A and B are shown apart, each in its own frame.
Chain A
Amino acid sequence: MKKLLLLVLFISVATVTYAGGYRVSVQGQRAMAMGHTGVAVVNSAELVFFNPAGLVFLENKLNVSVGASGIFTDVIYQNEDLGISSETDSSVGTPINLYASYQVNEWMSVGLGVYTPYGSEVTWPTDWPGSHLVNNIELAAIYVQPVVSFKLSDHFSIGGGPIYVTGSVNFNRNLNRTLADFEGNRSNVTIDDSGVSNWGWSVGAMFNPTENFRIGFNYRSEIILEAEGGDATFTNIPNSPAVPFANGSTTFDAELPLPAELTVGLSYQFEKWLFAFDYNRQFWDVYESLDIDFGNTPTGPDSVNPRNYKNSSVYRFGLQYEATEKITLRAGYYRDESPVQEGFFAPETPRNDSDGFSGGLSFAITPKLAIDASFFYLRFEEVDASYDFYQENGQGVPFSGTYKSSAFAPGLGLTYKM
């Protein structure tokens, strides 16, 4: 058993996970340990996120799962032609998840979830070579979702519920490659807004052809966060009527889409083993452009930043083994395709295709309470990429170079059932 545990840890560490764009797929410790599969896994209250239809098949009356991960992300950049290199501040993101479900009667369960499926935190050194695109960015979105789950037969259930989202953004970049004040300090702008909210929904279905075999489906709607009247602060602007901005604060309007996601998957239980497969389709094509309109200038967007994301897929594989009565081991792998198209590789979300490796375990302290541990390592290939849609004097000025990223995230959680 010890050897197996070590082996699982070793495999995960030796190879090491995340998701395309600013999607952060860490919505449950148990699922995470299994490559973030779960649309067809009936295991815990994590189903509120993965597939609310499955909640009604949980054995216990009350199920609670809470957890948090620390995501350590590093991105390095270099351009060999220009001899320049840079590295992001190792940022730590902390996605959290709180789930609870309650079986009202044999055919109906209700649940509540709080989770953070979107976010990004990237901090480049101030005035680094790509500072006209981004110095630093911090995005966060908190989803709050009540769900209800109905068992239509022992073979089939449905579920779903509305989602309330509240988001925040803080983004700083230099106005262009060269503008500076009299002392040579680079002119920059910070946009900041929080409490940007909107509504969405999700629905799921689960089909159990046999006792050991489940098929799941889940769809979460797109939600557009519309920041209106946020704070835009301009700094180090030269004192000149030739510059359309002045030092100080104004307002800004911008929109950021949180794309829809479709998941289908299956799970199969064989004695102490459970195998799971999930396929995610993320509808990133909604993210066409990040347009920012500042309040102190005539109407119309002042900053147009084409993104032109494409829809992308993630393939997830998970495995679970009940080693002892108290210990359950998990491992997983996934292939995460980037939504970023060639020529649109912006350093605020420097994501290319990646391989995720995850592992973890649950330790049952009592029959009711278990500790869940997970971690993942996301491995990115080194990529030569560029962002070609920044313009100066109507001329496209590509920002190119070689990027390499990695992300590592240990997480801990508790599962309580009664």
Chain B
Amino acid sequence: MIKKNIKYLAILALGLVACEPEFDNPIDESGVFTSGEADFSNFLALGNSLTAGFADGALYITGQENSFPNILSQQFALAGGGEFTQPLMADNAGGALLGGTQILENRFVLAFDAQGNPGPARYTGAAPTTEISTNLGSSFNNLGVPGAKSFHLAAPGYGNVAGVATGQANPYYARFASSASSTVIGDAVAQNPTFFSLWIGNNDILSYATSGGVGVDHNETGNLDPTTYGGNDITNSNVFASVYNDLLGALTANGAKGVVLNLPDVSSLPFFTTVPNNALVLDAATAGSLTGFFQAVAGIVTAQIAGTGVPLAQAQAVAAQYAITFNAGPNRFLIKTDVSATNPLGFRQMTEEELLVLTIDSAALAQGYGSVVLTPEVLQVLGILQAGGMPTAEQGALVIAAINAINDQDALDSGELTAISNARTSFNTTIAGLATANGLAFYDVATDLAQAANGGIPFDGGIITSDFVTGGGFSLDGVHPTPRAHALVTNGIIDAIQDTYDANLPRVNPGDYGTVTLSNDVN
């Protein structure tokens, strides 16, 4: 009887095993997703902050985990991809220390003030714990270095921790540089990648833009030596082309395949589109008095120029530019320009396409920055003018000094925008051309980001736009993408890889990825 029972128990046990449900086509079995002509077994990502997963003005763990290379690697894993390692920061606060002293600020979070108004604020809930001088070793799949320009990837010593304090080296690369003289590209090639992504060149333009164009455009200077470039300069297009060609040459030397991304328009970033250039909103009375003020300015300038012996008509013609008319409603701000014979006061009203930076002091804008600071003394002089009187030279100077035009570092004027646009066009021509020449997948991310800025990109939970805070595409620094935008970039890359290498990979759902982080731990 016992023997018989054992037999039945064995059948029962078999039955239990046979009960496990199984799909007709399980996706985790080989053959469903394929790498085509590519080989994802050792995937390396090279680039800057965008590749690193930098967001909200800092590098932190969850941002790194949601970087497009990390998301992409999870899709690759279904088609022969291997492990993907990243030089993770020590925390989610985002700041960093050098020798125990904080050198990088914490990240932004979205905080609400007592009136319930949301705004980005630096997280203060925890002190940063990432020590830059702690080297993690050089074997990481994500080699994105926040702040890196194209030529930095090939610059020896860019990760020398001794150079970080003096600005000679990059704190993020110092964390995983293989030696004091190593290069990012050298560390990449040493890992023998089978597949790579390269998204570099953004900072060759961006730092110029975010600094309001205070740097130098080396397409104008013709300077071909990047070691002499300042941090806020635009890289010469020939330098960019040469560096980019060298980077791809090194990465493809062993037959590796890869994907390259072009450079989106920086002027459509929320960093430049959030503070409107016509935020000088006036009621009719104030508009009238400002118009009166600038008529007075024109009069004073006419008198000053005529006083130097210039014919009156000529003096009036020069001064007429300052008789700016203000209207009830929004008016564009004034910005500083170079002082010249044709613009002796060195200011003008902004034109429609010119931009203000996100970091401009908005409290100052409300107090007359970008227009006029009307003190009682100035009003007194205006009274004299209105009564038909003639102010003294001192009183005239008082009026001129009341003009408070916006500084260069807070605005991108039309000349700066042209320099940015020309450089980007040239860099993108280089990237697309070299992608084709090397048989690489090419993702035109610039077009997708332009769509985000102009109408938005639909997903299953709404629309992703470039609107600051609410759009879902950009983190709280107004420059770097959110996890959701990283998901979009991942899908764009997947499409490009499928087209070029005949691979079959699943896309990700951007709706599964978050946007900005809420926290009132901001003191």
Kindly state the separation between the CA atoms of A14 and B17 in the bound complex, as whole angstroms: 11
Given A76-B22, A78-B23, A241-B520, A85 contacting B12 (CB threshold 8 A): no
B116 in complex: contacting residue of A5, A75, A80, A241, CB < 8 Å: A241
Chain A residues whose CB sits within 8 angstroms of the CB of B116 once the complex forms: 241
Q: Of A72, A78, A183, A397, which is within 8 A of B461 by CB?
A: A397
Q: B23 touching A177 by the CB < 8 A rule? A: no
| Distance between A316 CB and nearest chain B CB, rounded to angstroms | 21
Q: Is the CB of A184 within 8 A of B92?
A: yes
* Complex interface: chain B residues within 8 A of A398 (CB): 460
Cα–Cα distance between A16 and B16 once the two chains are bound (Å): 9
Q: Are B118 and A242 in touch, CB under 8 angstroms?
A: yes
Given A241-B116, A398-B460, the answer on whether A182 and B519 have CB atoms closer than 8 Å is yes
B408 contacts chain A at the CB level, 8 A cutoff: no
CB–CB B21/A82 < 8 A: no
- Nearest to B114 among chain A residues (CB) is A241
A106 at the B interface (CB under 8 A): no
State how many angstroms separate the Cβ of B442 from the closest Cβ of chain A. Answer: 23
Task: Tell whether B168 is near chain A: CB-to-CB under 8 Å.
Answer: no
How far is A78 from B29 in the complex, measured between Cα atoms in Å? 12
Residues 122-162 of chain B, each 1 if its beta carbon lies under 8 Å from chain A, else 0? 01010000000000000000000000000000000000000
- Cα separation A240 to B33 with both chains bound (whole Å): 41
Chain B residues positioned under 8 Å from A72 (CB to CB): 16, 19
Q: How far is the CA of A407 from the CA of B21 in the complex (A)?
A: 9
Whole-angstrom CA separation of A377 from B23 in the bound complex: 17
User: B11 near A10 (CB under 8 angstroms)?
Assistant: yes
Is A406 among interface residues, defined by CB-CB distance under 8 A?
yes
Q: Are B19 and A74 within 8 A (Cβ)?
A: yes
Residues of the A chain whose Cβ atoms lie less than 8 Å from the Cβ of B33: 83
A82-B24 in contact (CB<8A): no
Is B8's CB under 8 angstroms from A9's CB?
Answer: yes
Question: Given A182-B109, A410-B12: A85 and B27 within 8 A (CB)?
Answer: yes
What residues on A are CB-neighbors of B229 within 8 Å? none
Give chain B's interface residue range (CB within 8 Å of chain A). Answer: 35 or more
CB-CB under 8 A from B8, the residues of chain A are: 5-6, 9
A78 CA / B14 CA spacing, docked (Å): 26
Contacting residues, chain B, for A5 (C-beta < 8 A): 8
- B25 at interface, CB cutoff 8 A: yes
Cross-chain contact A76 with B21 (CB below 8 angstroms): yes
A397 — which chain B residues lie within 8 A by C-beta?
460-461, 511
State in angstroms the CA–CA spacing of A238 and B111 once bound together: 11
CB distance B506 to A82 under 8 Å?
yes
Within 8 A of B (CB), among A162-198: 177-180, 182-184
**Residues 377-418 of chain A, each 1 if its beta carbon lies under 8 Å from chain B, else 0:** 100101000000000110101100010111110100000000
Closest to A2 in B: B4
* B75 at the A interface (CB under 8 A): yes
Q: Given that A72-B19, A80-B27, A183-B62 are known contacts, is A243 also in contact with B461, CB under 8 Å in the complex?
A: no
Bound form: Cα–Cα A384–B118 in Å: 42
In the complex, what residues of A have CB within 8 A of residue B111's CB?
A: 240
**Contacts between chains A and B (CB distance < 8 A), count:** 131
- Give Cα A240 to B121, complex, Å: 13
Given contacts A16-B15, A179-B514, contact A184 B23 (CB under 8 A): no
- CA–CA, A238 to B112, complex, Å? 12
Q: Residue among B65, B511, B518 with the most chain A CB within 10 A?
A: B518
Chain B 94-128 residues near chain A, CB threshold 8 A: 109-112, 116, 118, 123, 125
CB of B242 closer than 8 Å to a CB of A? no
Q: In chain B, what residue has the closest Cβ to A90?
A: B20
Contact of B27 among A6, A83, A177, A408 (CB under 8 A): A83
Per-residue CB contact flags for chain B residues 503-523 toward chain A (1 = under 8 Å, else 0) read 001111101111101111100
A13→B123 contact, CB < 8 A: no
Q: Is the CB of A406 within 8 A of B112?
A: no
Q: Is the CB of A393 within 8 A of B506?
A: no
A83:B460 contact, CB within 8 angstroms: no
| A:292-324 near B, CB below 8 Å | none
Contact B61 A184 (CB under 8 A): yes
| Across-interface contacts of A177 in B (CB, < 8 A) | 461, 511-512
Does A257 sit within 8 A of B, measured CB to CB?
A: no
**Interface SS majority for chain B:** loop
Would you give the shortest CB distance from A187 to chain B, in whole angstroms?
10
B21 and A240 form a contact (CB under 8 A):
no
Tell which of B19, B507, B509, B512 touches A406, judged by Cβ atoms closer than 8 Å: B19
Q: How far is the CB of B2 from the nearest CB of chain A, in Å?
A: 14
Give A377 to B15 CA distance when docked, in angstroms: 9
Q: B32 interface residue, CB < 8 Å from A?
A: yes
B521 CB contacts on chain A under 8 angstroms: 182, 239
Q: Which of A228-256 contact B (CB under 8 A)?
A: 238-243
With an 8 A cutoff between CB atoms, is B26 at the interface? yes
User: Whole-angstrom distance between the alpha carbons of A9 and B13 in the complex?
Assistant: 12
Contact B518 A242 (CB under 8 A): yes
A129 within 8 A of B: yes
A184:B62 contact, CB within 8 angstroms = yes
Say how far A370's CB is from chain B's closest CB, in angstroms.
16
Known: A76-B21, A78-B23, A80-B506. A13 touches B78 (CB 8 A): no
| Nearest A residue to B65, CB-CB | A184
Contact of B515 among A178, A380, A406, A407 (CB under 8 A): A178
Q: Knowing A83-B506, A182-B109, A406-B21 touch, does A395 contact B461 (C-beta < 8 A)?
A: yes
User: Is there a chain B Cβ closer than 8 Å to A49's Cβ?
Assistant: no
Check A211 for interface membership: any CB of B closer than 8 A: no
Shortest beta-carbon distance from A1 to chain B in Å: 11
In angstroms, Cα B12 to Cα A410, docked, is 9
Chain B residues near A382: list those with CB within 8 A: 23-24
Q: Give B113's nearest chain A residue, CB to CB.
A: A241
Which of chain A's residues have a CB closer than 8 A to the CB of B220?
A: none
Check: A325 CB closer than 8 A to any chain B CB.
Answer: no
Query: In chain A, residues 1-30, which have Cβ atoms closer than 8 Å to a Cβ of chain B?
Result: 2, 5-6, 9-10, 12-14, 16
Within 8 A of A (CB), among B51-69: 61-62, 65
Q: Is B437 an interface residue (CB 8 A)?
A: no
With a cutoff of 8 Å between Cβ atoms, the chain B residues found around residue A375 in the complex are 12, 15
Nearest neighbor of A80 in chain B, beta-carbon distance: B27
B62 close to A82 (CB less than 8 A): no
Do B78 and A83 have beta carbons less than 8 Å apart? yes
- Cβ of B28 under 8 Å from chain A: yes
CA distance A382 to B22 in the complex (A): 9
How far is B513's CA from A212's CA once the two chains are assembled, in angstroms?
Answer: 65
Q: Determine if B18 is an interface residue (Cβ-Cβ < 8 Å).
A: yes
Q: Which B residues lie within 8 Å of A239 (CB)?
A: 125, 518-521
CA distance A398 to B509 in the complex (A): 12
- Is the CB of B462 closer than 8 A to any CB of chain A? yes
Please name all residues of chain B whose beta carbon is closer than 8 Å to the beta carbon of A393 when the two chains form the complex: 461-462
Whether the Cβ atoms of B19 and A183 lie closer than 8 Å is no
In the bound assembly, the distance between CA atoms of A95 and B479 in angstroms comes to 58
Identity of the chain A residue whose Cβ is nearest the Cβ of B484 in the assembled complex: A178
In the bound assembly, the distance between CA atoms of A83 and B12 in angstroms comes to: 34
Partner pick for A240 among B18, B26, B112, B123, CB 8 A cutoff: B112
A271 at the interface (CB under 8 A from B): no
Of chain B, the residue at the smallest CB distance from A409 is: B19
Q: B517: which A residues are within 8 A, CB to CB? A: 180, 182, 238
The residues in B between 1 and 49 inclusive whose CB is less than 8 angstroms from any CB of A are 4, 8, 11-12, 14-16, 18-28, 32-33
**Least Cβ–Cβ distance between A332 and chain B, in angstroms:** 16
Q: Could you jot down 22 A-B contacts, CB within 8 Å? A: A5-B8, A9-B8, A9-B11, A72-B16, A84-B506, A85-B26, A178-B514, A178-B515, A182-B109, A182-B125, A182-B517, A182-B521, A183-B62, A240-B111, A241-B520, A242-B112, A242-B118, A392-B461, A397-B460, A405-B21, A408-B19, A410-B12
Extra contacts, 13 of them, besides A182-B125, A184-B92, A405-B21 (Cβ < 8 A), are A6-B11, A13-B18, A16-B19, A72-B16, A78-B26, A177-B511, A178-B515, A180-B62, A239-B125, A239-B519, A240-B520, A375-B15, A408-B15
Chain B residues proximal to chain A, CB less than 8 Å: 4, 8, 11-12, 14-16, 18-28, 32-33, 61-62, 65, 75, 78, 92, 109-112, 116, 118, 123, 125, 460-462, 484, 505-509, 511-515, 517-521
